[in-house]
Structure 1
Amino acid sequence: MNNINTFSGSLSCEIVTLPIDSKEILYDTSYYGQPKDDILELTLIEAAYLIYKGKITVNSENKKLDFEGFMCEASRRTGNFEVKYIVFKDLRERGYFIKPGVTDFRVYPRGGSPGRTPSRYFVYVLSERQPMLLTDLVRQIITASNVKKELIMAVVDEESEITFYGARLRSMKGDMDNSRSVPAIRASLLEDRVMVWDSKSSAQLHNEFLYGKALDEIRLQLSLIEAAYLLGREVVEIMDSKGRILTPNDFADQAVMVESDFPKKLAVYKDLREKGMVVKTGYKFGSHYRVYKKVDPKKGMLHSEFLVHALDNNYIFNLSQLSRAVRLANSVKKQMIFAWESGETISYLEISRIKM
């Protein structure tokens, strides 16, 4: 110990050990490290921060490491070290107590501390350049949820700014009655959309059930997804341009040639509609769908609550693209939802920007 507030430690593998007399100042008061027998063990990130704060010095192979030397050594010993350090330092200086966790960190609520209150968050740290597997993120969410924690993604950009995101699995449910049946309606597949020719049928589908967009005062255009869903429910009978009646499989085969994402988009659309929601294109917002819990046909579609994007279950997120999607959704007061087929069901993931 060099002075009353500075302790000397030793680097060994991925921990720094300090004499037990450091416990009162570093652990009992500030919750750094973990006491073990007659020593205090620090993680490399905790040690780096305490070197920066002038609270400890660290020796490795009889050589004292300054902050630069320690950071370089630690980054060789553990992956993603520098971005984790940036997040640790940021949260510590915001007044949070932080401990190692099964994601990257366990973070206690403001006013809480280890041994006195439960931790509130599991923090998952990423560099903006890292690809993020959907399966990895879901595993982290489930891990946090199993112990009643909230998962926070901390993404560090190239200028070391941090963006925090809340991520959770959720259910989707609307208040529309989409179960009513109607007589079979004749329609035609033209190229990338389906046309309903009869004025009465067009009005019923559009005004009562909120499908399609009016071409004029008589005819109605349906998207490929809407048409496939209605065909599957035997609401429409669809013919191709030569007058041949198409089965659902025939229609799907032709739709895939126009839109490669058709199968996963249809699976998500079907699930949302059957959960009582109104689903319309989200193209203007860069997503597959904008989704409403309920729409009053007399008032029209005023404000959708969600943007929903359909994914493959092995999808890999590009974090820059994720940032754009979430920022846009939040800026227009919508929730950004990602959806994918999970066995026989559809899973939904909500990601939103949060302030820490």
Structure 2
Amino acid sequence: MNGKLVRDRVILEEAAIAELYSTSYYGRPRDGKLELTLTEAAYLLGRERISISLDKKPLNFKEFVKTASNLMEKFELKYIVYKDLRERGYYVQPSVTDFRLYPRGGHPGKTPAEYFVRVVSEREPLPLTDIMRHLETAKNVRKQIILAIVDEEGDITFYDAKKTDMEGKMREVKTNGIKEEAALLGDRVIIWDPELAHALHHGSFFGTLLHEKMLQLSLVESAYLLKKKVIKIVDGKSGKVLSFKKFAEKATRIEPIFDGKYRTYEGLRDKGQVVKTGFKFGSHFRTYEQIDSIEKLTHSKYLVHAIPGDHIFALQELSRAIRLAQSVRKRMIFAYTTDKKVQYVDIGRTKL
């Protein structure tokens, strides 16, 4: 069955519709002929289901791949992913991302596609804005996004990406009506009052008890409690009471990324999450949806890392963060601020 390479498509005669489309859903019928994308054509040529000619000259597989690589950006990567998905038994068709993928047991005309698949090289920088644009496209047509990352050896790792709201179940900061001064000492804040220290730590899991009479708070925890008017903060050097603005300025000098971390921390706390440092896991925070007792601490569900809205992922860095999160049974969340609102994107490895 011979096809002709015309621009970036391979065109086959009408008989191919019954043999290739009606049974296996390759290509698209158009004007009484079957039109294949370059990836579909390469797959079928490699399986010796079709032959392909250009200007009446037959092309072998090597010649076709070289030609297709000049016609389609990232052809080699897309072919690797297309071939993998087809050999897993999926029906795959082109889409506004790279491919749309049908659920097992489904096919075009029977069920809607379930996923949009975006193909990316491990060496390719991946802007957060690209991920969010694809998520928005998928959302508009009720699809999910899969990132197919192809490494230098041609192996594929699949990641699912989705927006999440990060709703928790702990809204109220429990202080038993106590309001006391706290002191900024170096890069942390100390609450001296034992009752407030106990209430904040045991009631809402703020800070670390150095002993039962003294609570140590991180900069983001301190800023949150200051903004909520739960505590007053006094500069340990000058003895002056600090406004939220002054405290934030000092915190930013201590930690240049304080603003992004604080926005993320505040957003998570306001949504009812209990937020603690994620330093041991290589991220900014770990979060708990609910804590009933400090003594019976539940498993934290998420690792959260604050990034700027214009962040560009290095894929090895992304892979490392996700692998670590999943090795400790957590989901990896990236938080960023847009229009003064914190947004959360959940990226994790998935199996197809």
* TM-score with structure 1 setting the length: 0.95
CA distance in structure 1 between the aligned counterparts of 2:194 and 2:294, rounded to whole angstroms: 19
2:155 matches 1:161: yes
State the 1:298 CA deviation: 4.8
Kindly provide the amino acid, as one letter, of the partner of residue 325 in structure 2: A
CA distance in structure 2 between the aligned counterparts of 1:178 and 1:127, rounded to whole angstroms: 45
Return 190-199 or 293-302, whichever deviates more: 293-302
State the 1:232 CA deviation: 0.8
State the 1:302 CA deviation: 3.1
184, 189, 198: which is aligned to 2:193?
198
Aligned 8 A contact 2:190 2:216 in 1: yes
Return 99-108 or 201-210, whichever deviates more: 201-210
2:73 matches 1:79: yes
**Secondary structure of the residue that 2:317 maps to in structure 1?**
helix
Aligned 8 A contact 1:178 1:273 in 2: no
Kindly provide the amino acid, as one letter, of the partner of residue 253 in structure 1: E
Residue of structure 2 equivalent to 1:4: none
Residue of structure 2 equivalent to 1:224: 219
**Secondary structure of the residue that 1:215 maps to in structure 2?**
strand
- Where in structure 2 are the equivalents of 1:48-63 lying within 5 Å? 48-63=42-57
TM-aligned CA distance change 1:61 to 1:77, over 3 Å: same
CA distance in structure 1 between the aligned counterparts of 2:321 and 2:146, rounded to whole angstroms: 17
2:17 matches 1:23: yes
Residue of structure 2 equivalent to 1:213: 208
106, 109, 112: which is aligned to 2:106?
112
State the 1:17 CA deviation: 0.8
Aligned 8 A contact 2:173 2:203 in 1: no
Residue of structure 2 equivalent to 1:254: 250
CA distance in structure 2 between the aligned counterparts of 1:310 and 1:178, rounded to whole angstroms: 24
**Secondary structure of the residue that 1:160 maps to in structure 2?**
coil
CA distance in structure 1 between the aligned counterparts of 2:173 and 2:281, rounded to whole angstroms: 28
146, 158, 176: which is aligned to 2:170?
176
Kindly provide the amino acid, as one letter, of the partner of residue 335 in structure 2: A
CA distance in structure 1 between the aligned counterparts of 2:205 and 2:4, rounded to whole angstroms: 69
Counting aligned pairs with the same residue, the percent is 48
Residue of structure 2 equivalent to 1:282: 278
324, 327, 331: which is aligned to 1:328?
324
The runs of at least 4 aligned residues of structure 1 exceeding 3 Å deviation read 179-183
Residue of structure 1 equivalent to 2:90: 96
Aligned 8 A contact 2:174 2:200 in 1: no
State the 1:300 CA deviation: 4.1
293, 296, 299: which is aligned to 2:292?
296
CA distance in structure 2 between the aligned counterparts of 1:10 and 1:249, rounded to whole angstroms: 68
Kindly provide the amino acid, as one letter, of the partner of residue 327 in structure 2: S
Aligned 8 A contact 2:307 2:334 in 1: yes
Q: Which digits, 9 at most, give the CA deviation of each residue in 1:38-64, with x for residues without a partner?
A: 321110000111110001111123322
CA distance in structure 2 between the aligned counterparts of 1:296 and 1:272, rounded to whole angstroms: 18
Q: Which runs of 5+ in 2 are unaligned?
A: none
Aligned 8 A contact 1:144 1:150 in 2: yes
Residue of structure 1 equivalent to 2:183: 188
Q: How many residues align?
A: 350
State the 1:203 CA deviation: 1.5
TM-aligned CA distance change 1:108 to 1:37, over 3 Å: same
* TM-score with structure 2 setting the length: 0.96
State the 1:23 CA deviation: 1.4
CA distance in structure 2 between the aligned counterparts of 1:246 and 1:47, rounded to whole angstroms: 68
Q: Which digits, 9 at most, give the CA deviation of each residue in 1:171-229, with x for residues without a partner?
A: 11111132456333211111211111222222222122211111233211100000011
Residue of structure 2 equivalent to 1:44: 38
2:347 matches 1:351: yes
Aligned 8 A contact 1:107 1:119 in 2: yes
**Secondary structure of the residue that 2:260 maps to in structure 1?**
helix
21, 28, 34: which is aligned to 1:34?
28
- Where in structure 2 are the equivalents of 1:2-21 lying within 5 Å? 7-21=1-15
CA distance in structure 2 between the aligned counterparts of 1:63 and 1:220, rounded to whole angstroms: 80
CA distance in structure 2 between the aligned counterparts of 1:50 and 1:322, rounded to whole angstroms: 34
Q: Which runs of 5+ in 1 are unaligned?
A: 1-6
2:127 matches 1:127: no
